[in-house]
Amino acid sequence: MIEEETYLREGLGELAEHYRHILSLLGEDPHREGLQQTPMRVAKAMQYLTKGYLQDPKAILEKALFHEEYNHMVIVKDITFHSLCEHHMLPFFGKVHVAYIPNGTITGLSKIARVVEVFARRLQVQERMTQQIMECIQQTLKPMGVMVVIEAEHTCMQMRGVEKVNSVTTTSAFSGVFKKAETRQEFMNLI
């Protein structure tokens, strides 16, 4: 499926010119055949990869709120994501696992994945992204508790610096009933 380019925004041409200049500074000829369209391609890619700035994650959840007296754990696991590390603007990617225990309100399951996508499509650090997803769901659904676990590989560690290819970083954030060790353990066992 080809997504309509609704993520494109003001400054695209200027961004492409900056990338043309970057190519020159790296010692390349931005006018050679293989690189002529690269600055615009990179500018469009960067606007796509940061389209989360254009979206409101709370509004996404609010579009699909339903009254339901279910009060057991709801888990959406293995939500894949790709983001850009704000320190080096290199990709980090992995899986997000989200659980919440409703308090009279549920949301469409795809909305949880969309919230993950909104926060991933911003310049990020994994720790903040974990917290932002948890807080958004907690504030919008007002459940008994939320827990988010992210497992990710960071290319800034794999391609440069320490160059540790097989390292995985795990972060978690939780609220409400997930402050109890047994509730957190149940979630961890289920993922």
Query: Which active-site residues does the annotation give?
Result: 85-88, 126, 154, 156
The first and second tokens of residue 73, run together, are 């754990």
The CA-atom distances, in angstroms, between 139 and each of 62, 127, 128 are 11, 18, 16
Is the separation of the CB atoms in 116 and 96 below 8 Å?
yes
Give the residue among 135, 7, 10 at the shortest CA–CA distance from 61.
Answer: 135
Is the separation of the CB atoms in 155 and 82 below 8 Å?
no
144 three-state secondary structure: coil
From CA 20, how far away is CA 113, in angstroms rounded?
35
End-to-end CA distance of the chain: 29
Q: What are phi and psi of 175, to 5 degrees?
A: -145, 170
